[in-house]
Each structure stands twice: as C-alpha cells, then as structure tokens.
C-alpha cells in the first residue's frame, strides 16, 4: 500500500489563524536568516514524506486518529489489512465497531479509537457527503480529530501549508527562538508568520526531523547541525555548521 501522492506544494491554509505575536515572542532571526535556515533544511531533505500509510484522505484521517500515543509502524501494521476492506466511511460503517476493534487491537487506546472512527465515519456521511472536508474548522468537528490531526490532514492530503506542532517543533521553535510561544497554538501561529512561503509546505517535516535526529530534547547534537552558525540558542555548544549534503530518507513520525 502506498501513500497517496502529495499534491504540489501550495498556498498557506486559508484557515490559518491571524493572531498578533507579542514583542516578547518575536523571532530572534532576521528574514534573511530564516530563509537561510530553511534553504539548508531543503538541501538536506528535498522531499520529506510522512510515514503513515493511507490510500485516500479518509484513510489518512483514520490513520492519524489511530496514531495518538502509538508508533507509525504499529499503526501501519494494523491499517494495511483494515484499509483493504474499509477505505471509505461507508465500508467502515459496514464493518462495524466490533470488527474494527479486532483490526486495531494492537494499538493503544483501541476501544476509544474504534468508537471515534465509527463516529467520524457517520459524521462524514451525514454532514459531508462521505468526503473529508478541506478546512480546519470542519475537520475539527469530526470525533477524535483535534487541531494537530487536522493540520496533518490539510498538509498531507490536500497540500495546504499547515504546521502541526508536535513536541519536537514546540521545543525547537522555543529553544532556538525561531518562533517562541507558550503553547503549541502560539508556536503554530508564529511559525506561519516567520517561515518563508516557499518553504512552508515542508516546514513541519523538516523541523520534526531536525528535532528527532539532531536538536534532540536532552542534548542537542550541535556538532551535527547544519545551522549551527546561525542558531541563537543559549544551549548551543558549537558554532561550526555540519557539511550541507542531502541525507538518505528518514522516518518522519506524525505529530502525536
């Protein structure tokens, strides 16, 4: 089973909130510096891709809803056979909650997640003609779908430049003072303002990967960092940037 092809990089989500960012929360970087940071990320990983397997927007919503507090590999293992029999809301309802539970019982919180998947399938049919809606406001009306899930779906299924702020993105945005904020929502709003338009589409994957493999939570590995010369983090331990080369594909966890 293959991921659906990402639509071409495109515009910012129209649903992006437009709150003001206070002076205290300003980015520590000039426009040209932010541009250079993301240029380097784009050289390292020209086409970053999410790992959750799906065959259409509906199965992506289901996969993301199932991925909370679970690994992508674990979700993929369960959803491969599930999506072979239920890749639309109608088929999911025909399968029913009990049989759905059997498919996903290896995933944490599966009882509650099965309830949500059935409920969201019902709502998609009742309110959206069986189609996954394309706005954040509509997506978050679906049971089990929060803002973060909605952002992942907007980006991966519909090609909208949305940023789903996970623990890695939240940490980096604050640690290096790129887009400081007290909450994931504040960081999301701030990132949408500071990241150059042409880099917005892949920004959240780049930041997640940077946080997962280099700017790690306990100890950032600054000697392996391609933006070490630009970084303004007080935690930085090295000023010399790592060589800028394209990296082999790496696993991108869906924000959980």
228 binds ligand SF4 (CB under 6 A): yes
195 binds ligand SF4 (CB under 6 A): no
**Interacting residues of 203 by C-beta distance below 8 A, sequence separation 6+:** 38, 161, 163, 191, 195
DSSP string for 117-171: HHHHHHHHHHHHTTS--SSHHHHTTSTT--HHHHHHHHHHHH--B-----HHHHH
- Shortest gap between Cβ of 199 and ligand SF4 (angstroms)? 16
Task: Give yes or no: 198 in active site.
Answer: no
Distance CA 109, CA 219 (A): 31
220 binds ligand SF4 (CB under 6 A): yes
Tokens 């990983």 belong to: 45
Exactly one of 142, 214, 252, 254 binds ligand SF4 (CB under 6 A); that residue is 214
174 binds ligand SF4 (CB under 6 A): no
- Shortest gap between Cβ of 36 and ligand SF4 (angstroms)? 13
CA distances for 48 relative to 69, 130, 196, angstroms = 22, 30, 17
Task: Give yes or no: 166 in active site.
Answer: yes
- Shortest gap between Cβ of 233 and ligand SF4 (angstroms)? 4
191 binds ligand SF4 (CB under 6 A): no
Q: How many residues at the interface with ligand SF4, by CB under 6 A?
A: 14
Q: Which is nearer to ligand SF4, 139 or 225 (CB)?
A: 225
User: Which x/- pattern, by CB under 6 A, does the window 111-150 give for ligand SF4?
Assistant: ----------------------------------------
DSSP string for 21-34: --GGG--SS-HHHH
**Interacting residues of 27 by C-beta distance below 8 A, sequence separation 6+:** 34, 177, 178, 179, 180, 190, 194
The residues binding ligand SF4 (CB under 6 A) are 175-176, 214-215, 220-222, 225, 227-228, 231, 233, 235-236
- Catalytically annotated residues: 148, 166
């Amino acid at each position: 089973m293959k991921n659906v092809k990402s639509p071409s990089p495109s515009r910012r989500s129209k649903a992006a909130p437009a709150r003001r960012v206070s002076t205290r929360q300003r980015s520590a970087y000039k426009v040209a510096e932010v541009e250079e940071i993301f240029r380097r990320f784009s050289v390292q990983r020209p086409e970053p891709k999410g790992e959750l397997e799906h065959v259409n927007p509906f199965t992506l919503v289901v996969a993301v809803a199932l991925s909370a507090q679970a690994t992508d590999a674990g979700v993929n293992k369960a959803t491969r056979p599930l999506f072979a029999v239920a890749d639309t809301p109608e088929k999911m309802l025909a399968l029913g909650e009990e049989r759905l539970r059997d498919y996903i019982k290896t995933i944490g919180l599966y009882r509650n997640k099965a309830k949500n998947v059935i409920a969201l399938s019902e709502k998609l049919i009742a309110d959206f003609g069986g189609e996954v809606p394309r706005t954040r406001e509509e997506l978050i009306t679906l049971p089990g779908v929060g803002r973060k899930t909605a952002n992942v779906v907007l980006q991966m299924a519909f090609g909208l430049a949305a940023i789903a702020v996970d623990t890695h993105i939240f940490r980096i945005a604050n640690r290096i003072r790129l887009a400081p904020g007290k909450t994931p929502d504040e960081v999301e709003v701030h990132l949408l303002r500071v990241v150059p338009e042409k880099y917005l589409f892949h920004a959240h994957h780049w930041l997640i990967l940077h946080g997962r493999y280099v700017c790690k939570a306990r100890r950032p590995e600054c000697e392996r960092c391609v933006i070490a010369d630009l970084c303004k983090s007080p935690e930085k331990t090295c000023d010399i940037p790592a060589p800028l080369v394209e990296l082999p594909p790496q696993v991108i966890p869906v924000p959980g």
